[in-house]
Amino acid sequence: MLAIACPGQGSQTPGFLSPWLDLPGVRDHLEELGEQAGLDLVAHGTVSDEETIKDTAVAQPLIVAAGLLTARLLLADHPVTAGTVVVGHSVGELTASAVAGALPEDDAVALVRARANALAPAAAVTPTGMSAVLGGAPPEVIARLTERGLTPANANGGGRVVAAGTLEQLTALADDPPAKARVIPLKVAGAFHTGHMAEAVTVLEQLRPSLRPAAPLATLLSNFDGRPVTTGEGNLDSLIAQVSRPVRWDLCMESLQSMGVTGMLELAPAGTLTGLAKRGMRGTATLAVKSPEDVEAARSFIEEHSRTPALDPSLTPEGPQ
């Protein structure tokens, strides 16, 4: 069984889309997505520097566009079905929703544009940030975060948690980390996936009436609990709420394993999620689509893992509606 994974913010690097523009139709597609996003995504994907593409307002539309580009190339002759599992990390859930047919492509871009532009003002209300907590016993790590008033905003599995909260709370955590754990500050603009982002949720709710959600054609997992969402509106509820609640990538990986996934293909800009899978989904084949040189191998990978048995309906619990 095939899983298609869509990465989140932080996976982009300067110039990563340059080699893709040599493929037929890719530049036109990227220009179209850029017009919808209100950004020059061709420039941002080819010549913009690291600082420019770190900006949330640029990074998030760029990452979603990259995933949509590679998905179109790879899935044109192999459309997703209910036997394919699609999952995205954080903003990658928007890419995953379009790939799975739960949102039209232009709606996914409209949503990421609004999401990216809403996060900065929400983050400006209180000085906040995020820190990676590596190692330590998971119960002790969570207990220490709770003690400090922090949120485990990303639970990525394999002893990797991202803590989010005020800068004062994060400093206190770094000064007194959990046993056998390291605390590494992250270069982000705020405490994403926490209650500090409530204002961004309000902005996305205002966009809801213009969107056209649909029941997913593939099995689409939610970052909320790692379970499938079965309706378009249920998925949209999850996408909007996700901005202010934690990402449970650990639960997504557990679901992928319980469903019998044999191979995970990560769309561009790839590498982060396949890296997590190598630690959290041992024995599962992975392939990161990083450049056009990976396209033929990716098509073969898709064909190989799509030949495995379809998802057992008994393993498809109802997701959040």
**What pLDDT, in 10s, does the model give residues 260-302?**
999 999 999 999 999 999 989 999 999 999 999 999 999 999 9
Q: Which of 160-164, 187-191, 260-264, 310-314 has the lowest mean pLDDT?
A: 310-314
Q: What is the pLDDT of residue 307?
A: 74
Q: E strand or H helix at 157, and its extent?
A: strand 151-157
Q: What is the pLDDT of residue 312?
A: 47
Q: What is the pLDDT of residue 10?
A: 85
Residue 216: closest CA among 204, 229, 202: 229
Task: Evaluate whether 88 touches 264 at the Cβ level (below 8 Å).
Answer: no
Most distant CA atoms of the chain, gap in Å: 54
What single-letter DSSP state applies at residue 78?
Answer: S
**What pLDDT, in 10s, does the model give residues 104-117?**
999 999 999 999 99
Q: Which residue has the higher pLDDT, 11 or 212?
A: 212
Average pLDDT over residues 215-242: 96
pLDDT band of residue 309 (cuts 50, 70, 90) is: low
% of the chain exceeding 90 in pLDDT: 85
In the predicted model, is pLDDT for residue 315 greater than 50? no
In the predicted model, is pLDDT for residue 318 greater than 50? no
List, in order of start, the domains of the chain with CATH numbers.
2-123+195-315 (3.40.366.10), 125-185 (3.30.70.250)
Q: What is the pLDDT of residue 77?
A: 86
Q: What is the value of pTM for the model shown?
A: 0.91
- Annotated active-site residue 193? The verdict is yes
**What pLDDT, in 10s, does the model give residues 77-92?**
888 988 999 999 999 9
Could you check whether the bond before residue 269 is cis, i.e. omega within 30 degrees of 0? yes
- Annotated active-site residue 222? The verdict is no
Task: Evaluate whether 246 touches 155 at the Cβ level (below 8 Å).
Answer: yes
In the predicted model, is pLDDT for residue 316 greater than 80? no
The length of the chain, given as a count of residues: 321
Of the spans 54-58, 243-247, 309-313, which averages the highest pLDDT? 243-247
In the predicted model, is pLDDT for residue 314 greater than 60? no
Set 11, 48, 90, 238: catalytic member: 90
Rama region for 10: left / alpha / beta (φ>0; ψ in -120 to 50; rest): left
Set 193, 222, 238, 244: catalytic member: 193
Q: Which residue has the higher pLDDT, 26 or 315?
A: 26
Residue 225 structure tokens: 């609990």
Q: What is the mean pLDDT of the chain?
A: 93
- CA pseudo-torsion sign 131, 45, 41, 302: negative
Q: Which residue has the higher pLDDT, 315 or 220?
A: 220
Residue 16: closest CA among 76, 57, 65, 55: 65
In the predicted model, is pLDDT for residue 128 greater than 50? yes
In the predicted model, is pLDDT for residue 98 greater than 80? yes
pLDDT band of residue 35 (cuts 50, 70, 90) is: very high
Average pLDDT over residues 16-42: 97
Q: What is the pLDDT of residue 310?
A: 47
